[in-house]
Amino acid sequence: MKLERSFYTRSNVVTVARELLGKVLSTKINGLTTSGMIVETEAYSEKEKGCHAYKGMTRRNAVMYDDGGVAYVYLCYGIHQMVNVVTNAKGIADAVLIRALEPLTGIDVMMERMRVKHDKRITSGPGKLTRALGIDKSFNGKSLAGKELWIEDCGMEISASQIIKSTRIGIDYAGDDALLPWRFTIKGNEWISKL
């Protein structure tokens, strides 16, 4: 069942980031379906320095200000596309970065997109999972309940004891806010980034 808009529009982005663990992200592109269970997320709030919207709206981050339930996709380091889940009400720029998936559907398609002959760690990182699922900037601003891109609840329950909190990756520029425990991973999962 696709997640409803009300899942995303809640005001606490950290809660949404935690609850996205265990949900399934899918794409269907040119008839090819690929999907994976979300095993690693990070929350970003416009009130802290790690967030792209900390200093206000720019051309890049504009969709973060949309109503929750759409994708924010941007290019990083000139190579990697990153996909975020926009949360909170319209006008508030909060989002959850999807950092890793456990592959479920279309593993052969994903291996081809990654140009590898094995299925090891093909979705273990924010830049890799977008490539494996075929997500690029053309998905920026698109609904997460669409026909080409969606997130659903497949009944996987992740209990509180299975969730590990840690600091977010790659945001040293954020000063004190880099210390916020806003990264969530599923304990013991083989597919999280950074081992």
Partner DNA sequence: TACGTGATCACG
Partner DNA sequence: GTGATCACGTAA
Residues interacting with DNA, by CB under 7 A?
42, 44, 50-52, 55, 58-61, 64, 72, 74-80, 82, 84, 95, 97, 114, 125-129, 168-171, 173, 193
Bridge-partner residues for 40, per DSSP?
100, 185
Q: Residue 63: phi, psi to the nearest 5?
A: -70, -15
- For residue 60, the minimal CB distance to DNA (Å) is 3
CA distance readout (Å), 88 to 8, 32, 134, 176: 6, 31, 26, 24
Q: What angle do CA 151, 152, 157 make, to 5 degrees?
A: 120
Nearer CB in complex with DNA: 44/184? 44
CA distance readout (Å), 98 to 38, 42, 168: 7, 7, 12
- For residue 152, the minimal CB distance to DNA (Å) is 21
Nearer CB in complex with DNA: 91/170? 170
- For residue 103, the minimal CB distance to DNA (Å) is 14
Nearer CB in complex with DNA: 78/155? 78
- For residue 126, the minimal CB distance to DNA (Å) is 5
